[in-house]
């Protein structure tokens, strides 16, 4: 059976954009995206637009529109974010069975790992994001939790036959031990859930003209504030302590942070590791995935995953990072 995205041809992309009233110059450039399909589309006598076609059956319309509303809230509060284009009062459109949104093109470069000046400014930006995110909850988007990111991920991997038989006992054993510890730390750590970016790696915080802006809120969800912070840190423990200090100095100018949440960094890292493998497994019927991730399913990949989960299990027994 063919995958739905196989019918998303360049002509269909152009037709979709022109159905909203834009006149294209027939130039279409596929951008680096796997979960959805994203294209730069040339517009006659104007700047190109970015067209994002949502993966069928992943989000409900209500969940997508809730993402858009969150982005508009941020923009209204002057938080630099790339918001969808509104046309005739709508931001979500449909063409030939595909739901899509249009965005202005906003390029930039990712932050430099460990750059303390940039971390201070990123902290300010994330503090502003969370100040808006904390004002009300999502109603149609799931929360980040041990069940959906951990237990459900493990179930997907065990039931799908993706792990080589030679490594299956080792992976299952360490994964179950790890999830037990993650659950214990989660239960013991006081934290509040707010609206988050959800996938706040450095590639989604772009710098242009010395100003950072937020892109791609496709994975926004409810969760602890530290989820949007820990991926900004890089290097050894001592490096991370200095980086965390700069990040939180900027963050605290705009939003309060409960330092007890720092105990969730390693549990969240563990959940992200398992969720990533499960994400690849769930998308394996999409032809783009075997082509782009040919190593998935190899003994080498799963051997590295067993080692990574064992290291995470050990990290959970170490003292969490602290603010000084």
Sign for the pseudo-dihedral over CA of 110, 214, 308, 313 = positive
Catalytic residue among 216, 218, 239, 256: 216
* CB-neighbour burial class of residue 270 (10 A; exposed 0-12, middle 13-18, buried 19+): buried
User: Measuring CA to CA, which residue among 119, 110, 134 is closest to residue 257?
Assistant: 134
Sign for the pseudo-dihedral over CA of 69, 74, 77, 80 = negative
Sign for the pseudo-dihedral over CA of 117, 119, 125, 131 = negative
* Catalytic site includes residue 209: no
CA 295 to chain centroid: 22
Q: Is 209 within any annotated ligand binding site?
A: no
251 in Cβ contact with 262 (< 8 Å): no
69 in Cβ contact with 138 (< 8 Å): no
Catalytic residue among 44, 199, 249, 285: 199
- Ramachandran quadrant class, 164 (left: phi over 0; alpha: psi -120 to 50; beta: rest): beta
* Catalytic site includes residue 25: no
Q: Is 256 within any annotated ligand binding site?
A: no
Query: Which positions ≥6 away from 49 have C-beta within 8 Å?
Result: 17, 22, 40, 41, 43, 85, 102, 103, 104, 105
User: Measuring CA to CA, which residue among 12, 132, 4, 115 is closest to residue 56?
Assistant: 4
In the annotated binding site, the residues are 204, 216
Summarize the annotated binding site for Mg(2+) as residue ranges.
204, 216
The residues carrying an active-site annotation are 199, 216
């Amino acid at each position: 059976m063919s995958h739905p995205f196989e019918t998303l041809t360049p002509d269909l992309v152009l037709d979709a954009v022109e159905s909203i009233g834009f006149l294209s110059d027939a130039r279409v450039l596929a951008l680096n995206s796997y979960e959805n399909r994203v294209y730069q589309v040339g517009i006659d006598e104007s700047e190109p637009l970015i067209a994002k076609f949502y993966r069928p059956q992943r989000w409900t319309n209500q969940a997508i529109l809730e993402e858009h509303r969150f982005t508009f809230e941020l923009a209204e509060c002057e938080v630099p974010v790339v918001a969808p284009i509104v046309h005739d009062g709508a931001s979500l459109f449909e063409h030939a069975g595909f739901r899509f949104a249009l965005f202005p093109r906003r390029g930039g470069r990712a932050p430099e790992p460990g750059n303390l000046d940039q971390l201070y400014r990123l902290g300010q930006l994330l503090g502003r994001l969370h100040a808006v995110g904390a004002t009300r909850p999502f109603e149609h988007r799931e929360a980040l939790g041990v069940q959906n990111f951990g237990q459900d991920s493990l179930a997907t991997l065990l039931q799908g036959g993706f792990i080589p038989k030679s490594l299956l006992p080792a992976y299952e054993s360490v994964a179950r031990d790890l999830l037990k510890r993650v659950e214990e730390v989660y239960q013991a750590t006081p934290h509040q859930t707010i609206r988050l970016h959800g996938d706040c790696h450095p590639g989604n915080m772009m710098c242009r003209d010395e100003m950072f802006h937020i892109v791609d809120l496709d994975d926004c969800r409810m969760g602890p504030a530290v989820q949007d912070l820990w991926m900004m840190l890089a290097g050894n423990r001592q490096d991370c302590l200095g980086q965390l200090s700069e990040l939180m100095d900027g963050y605290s100018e705009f939003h309060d942070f409960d330092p007890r949440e720092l105990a969730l960094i390693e549990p969240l890292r563990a959940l992200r590791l398992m969720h990533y493998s499960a994400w690849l497994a769930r998308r394996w019927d999409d032809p783009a995935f075997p082509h782009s991730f040919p190593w998935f399913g190899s003994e080498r990949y799963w051997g590295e995953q067993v080692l990574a989960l064992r290291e995470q299990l050990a990290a959970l027994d170490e003292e969490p990072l602290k603010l000084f």
